[in-house]
Amino acid sequence: MKITRLSAALLTIVSVAATSCKTDLTGINTNPNSPTTAPAGTLFTNASVNIVGRYLGAGQLSGTALMAQHLAQVQYLDEDRGHIRATTIDGIYSGAYTSELEDYQKVVEMGKASKEPNIWGPALVMQSWGYQNMTDMWGDIPYSEALKGDVVGGPLKPKYDLQKDIYYGLLASLTEASTAMKTASDAGLGSADIIFKGSSTKWVRFANSLRARMAMRMSKADAAKAATELTAAFAGGLMTSNADNALLVYPGDGVFDNGWSGNFSTRDDHRVSKTLLDTMNAFADPRVKFYAQPTKNDPTKYTGLQNGMDNVTVTPFFNTTSRVGAMFYPGATAYGTFGTSAGKKTPAVVMTYAEVEFLAAEAAERGLGGQSGAAAHYAAGVTASITQWGGTAAEAAAYLAQPGVAYVPGATGLKQIGLQKWISMFTQGGEAWAEWRRTGNPASIKMGPKAYSDVLEVPRRWPYASNEQTVNMDNWAAAVARQGTDWYATRIWWDK
């Protein structure tokens, strides 16, 4: 529900009208049957459904999951060949500001006004997660002046903040939220909290875990700040088991379904990437049977599809490569039956305990954050990922015992951590892509054989929304001049 916002165009009209007529028509224009505010819980639920759908639903199927080479396209191949459609970019970029980021902002304002950190804290954490996704996709974006178009005198053409400043701001917000929620009760959002059901303890752990993620991501660009933030985040308390995973569990009622399940109910455009399945098959990874389905032509094989094919070269692989795991399908689809109706309820994964353990392993190996025991944290991360997806502890132990998977300290260990984190982030395309950009693991991620000629390497960022050059030209131009050409190859701050 977006009843608290006015568009920039409407604000301009209101402003002009105010200067040309001194008569107060406010009372006449008020419709008592159309409220202009909504309860904090309603806004929070709506925002959470929208933001998770944007970054973890169908949006990543046309972008980040392809760039991370977790998935490949077998039909409608533009994105897999390197061109994200302008409508996709515009929808994610502009939609985020006019939808969930604004809704969360209203919840923060309501919660702070009523002095209830268990209301504003979760909203600030989720808003921070949204901004983190955006800045990791584009680099410099509107932040400090964003969401102020409905404030009298607020900027309708917000400046683009440096990514460094955005990261600093988000780290401060996460610190503020986690600190305030430590002493808060669990009564705040209640059932409207569709992530943690109102648990302040879990929100604190998620906030600190997200803080650790961002600190590690900026560790090459700003080592001193990263080290300070990592130490503070670990001291504050991170996720301690899979029970702390940040998940949105869908009711699967046909209205609110898992985003992948909804997409796959009518479309058959994707297969699991060859890059991912080749990596997993090499070590008989027990997660293969959850991530993928056997091929139609040979039910004994799990085979990935090469990324970056064209319509001619991809056709022979339609039935010889693996669809995404059955848990992401709703049962009967427009083109066959896969999985069961339970697939509609498959949770969307926002952040996991497995990622936290990989963060701790890397921190220990690098001598950061007061962490030690890199091998133990690495094993805990692998085990958490395997059991999260439905595997057993015994399967995890056998997998970890293999040469090539068993941890080797030093530079080799850092590569292993990066690879296992990338594998574990299936369905989190944006995070998997970001971690590949940061670590270079796996090195097998490369542009496909039929990539478009103007995209010479796997994208490092997305171009800005096309309408920014119309409605916010000066600030867009300043960001491009500062950051680099508005194209896929330009590296963002932490990627340099």
Does the pLDDT of residue 2 top 90, yes or no?
no
CA dihedral 181, 182, 186, 190 (to 10 degrees): 30
DSSP assignments along 214-227, one per residue: HHHHTTTT-HHHHH
CA 254, 257, 263, 267 torsion-angle sign: negative
pLDDT of residue 34: 43
Does the pLDDT of residue 4 top 80, yes or no?
no
Q: What gap in Å lies between CA 180 and CA 342, rounded to an integer?
A: 37
pLDDT of residue 7: 35
pLDDT of residue 386: 98
Does the pLDDT of residue 120 top 50, yes or no?
yes
How do residues 375-431 score in pLDDT, each as one tens digit?
999 999 999 999 999 999 999 999 999 999 999 999 999 999 999 999 999 999 999
Q: What gap in Å lies between CA 470 and CA 477, rounded to an integer?
A: 11
**Cβ neighbours of residue 178 closer than 8 Å, sequence gap 6 or more:** 121, 125, 203, 204, 207, 208, 211, 236
pLDDT of residue 154: 86
Two tokens at 150? 């409905």
Residue type for position 400: L
Element housing 57 (H / E): none
Q: What average pLDDT is seen over the chain?
A: 92
Q: How far is CA 345 from CA 20, 255, 256, 278, 333, in A?
A: 54, 11, 9, 29, 16
pLDDT of residue 36: 54
How do residues 143-199 score in pLDDT, each as one tens digit?
999 999 888 888 999 999 999 999 999 999 999 999 999 988 777 899 999 999 999
* Mean pLDDT, range 251-277, rounded to an integer: 96
**Cβ neighbours of residue 57 closer than 8 Å, sequence gap 6 or more:** 258, 259, 260, 262, 263, 348
Two tokens at 122? 């979760």
pLDDT band at residue 15 using 50, 70 and 90 as cut-offs: very low
**Cβ neighbours of residue 87 closer than 8 Å, sequence gap 6 or more:** none
pLDDT of residue 151: 83
Q: What gap in Å lies between CA 166 and CA 137, rounded to an integer?
A: 13
* Mean pLDDT, range 221-227, rounded to an integer: 98
pLDDT of residue 153: 83
Taking the chain, what is the end-to-end CA distance rounded to the nearest angstrom?
Answer: 39
3-class SS letters over 400-450:
HCCCCCCCCCCHHHHHHHHHHHHHHCCCCHHHHHHHHHHHCCCCCCCCCCC
Does the pLDDT of residue 322 top 60, yes or no?
yes
Does the pLDDT of residue 114 top 90, yes or no?
yes
Element housing 62 (H / E): none
